[in-house]
Amino acid sequence: MKSMFKPLGAAAFAASIALATFPLAARADAASDALVSRGAYLAKAGDCIACHTAPRGKPMAGGLPMTTPLGAIYTTNITPDPDTGIGRYTEEDFARALREGVAKDGHNLYPAMPYPSYAKINDDDMHALYAYFMHGVTPVKQANREPGMKWPLNMRWPLKIWNAVFLDKGVYKEKTGKDVAWNRGAYLTQGLGHCGACHTPRGIAFQEKALDESGSAFLTGGVLDNWFGSNLTGDHNTGLGRWSEQEVATFLKTGANAHATAFGSMTSVINNSTQALNDTDIAAMARYLKSLPAAGGNGNPPYSYDPKATKVTLTRPAATDSGARVYAAFCMHCHGIDGRGFAPMLAPLAGNPNVLEKDASSLINVTLNGTEDLVIQGVPAPYPMPRYAPVLNDQQIADVVTFIRGSWNNGMPAVKVEDVAKMRKSTEAAR
């Protein structure tokens, strides 16, 4: 990393030697505004604020509940408050927490904190992040909440074994034969962006089945916290196979394009993270993602649009076709009789990768609970998806999602009412 100081002769040289002998925390005190600003940019790339800020809570003070198979856990206070936050962390402590999932006092963090991804962060970026969290974040005195897990599930010593088996501690190493943009995109996607934490399926021990493109499961989609993180490979139906690099970049920058609109957890990523990245980094991520070969998918032939049968059904919905009647009453005015919506303002449903996914979790969830507003450059999206849980029962939700999945040549199977009931119960408990 280039020096932050201009050469000023012997006095400056002596001062630099003295600075080099200071403890790491003291060195962070000398952080320049430029270093703190760079750390703030990197923290946005890592979307730290989304997980470490509770609804109506103070930024980075923690307390956000996260649902896991073992019970609820709560994100921690990562402000520089010395008593309840990370104010007493040295840079070494900070780096160990991010890369190895070990707190200053030695206890292991749950891998809901994406340290397997943050392990790839290089030293210069780690230094800038530390400067930002110590000098650019307002301290908040707020005690951390204990996990909602009962003994023995709350024991942390098994995490040492988990780390030994599943954690790769190496920082990202550039791939030979790949250009600068590809490597930058891979670094951001695999590391700070921790895209695999939501978009890669997990194994029986809650580990990501792959951490980079060398694993066939990488970014093929996965269920997490009642949402299905979509396939980001080149699959034609459920992935990015039909998207251009520019369309991927547009989605990361604005949360919408001709193919889909962000919802659920991805809304928070767009709002707090990717829209703040510069065009060079966005283009690099798009380059990397579009390089991934097709994997996962629904096993169906490549999607092709066919509106005929659906238009006939919606013109005069049969008395027995509950899904068509619900769609005509609640959905058609936004998503259209042709299923193409009014992209990018209103998402298409015909050929939408989320509709074509085998796992219907996200469709059920967003129909029940709607989604928070996309806010781009301070302007909320004009037509957010509303919440239908109060007005439609489980059978109606199942019927309309089944109708959508089977219409416009989407060709996906029916949704069970039991799956809707389960999702309603789970999401109500988390509210």
- Which residues are documented as binding site for heme c? 48, 51-52, 195, 198-199, 331, 334-335
Q: Which candidate, 373, 372, 355, places its Cα nearest to that of 364?
A: 355
H helical segments located in 200-307: 245-254, 265-272, 279-290
Size of the chain in residues: 431
What is d(CA 241, CA 234) in angstroms, rounded to the nearest whole number?
4
Its sign, for the CA torsion 421, 425, 426, 431, is: positive
CA 41 to CA 318: how far, in whole Å? 54
360 neighbors 418 (Cβ within 8 angstroms): no
Return d(Cα 295, Cα 221) in angstroms, integer: 10
Instruction: Report which residue type is found at 115.
Output: Y
H helices of 68-193, in order, are: 91-100, 115-118, 123-135, 158-166, 180-187
Check if the beta carbon of residue 112 is closer than 8 Å to that of residue 197.
no
CA distance 110 to 58: 22
Cβ–Cβ < 8 Å for 162, 111: yes
Give binding residues as ranges.
Answer: 48, 51-52, 195, 198-199, 331, 334-335
With CA atoms as reference, report the closest residue to 239 among 296, 300, 287, 189: 296
Of the candidates 305, 290, 399, 397, the residue with the CA atom closest to the CA atom of residue 352: 305
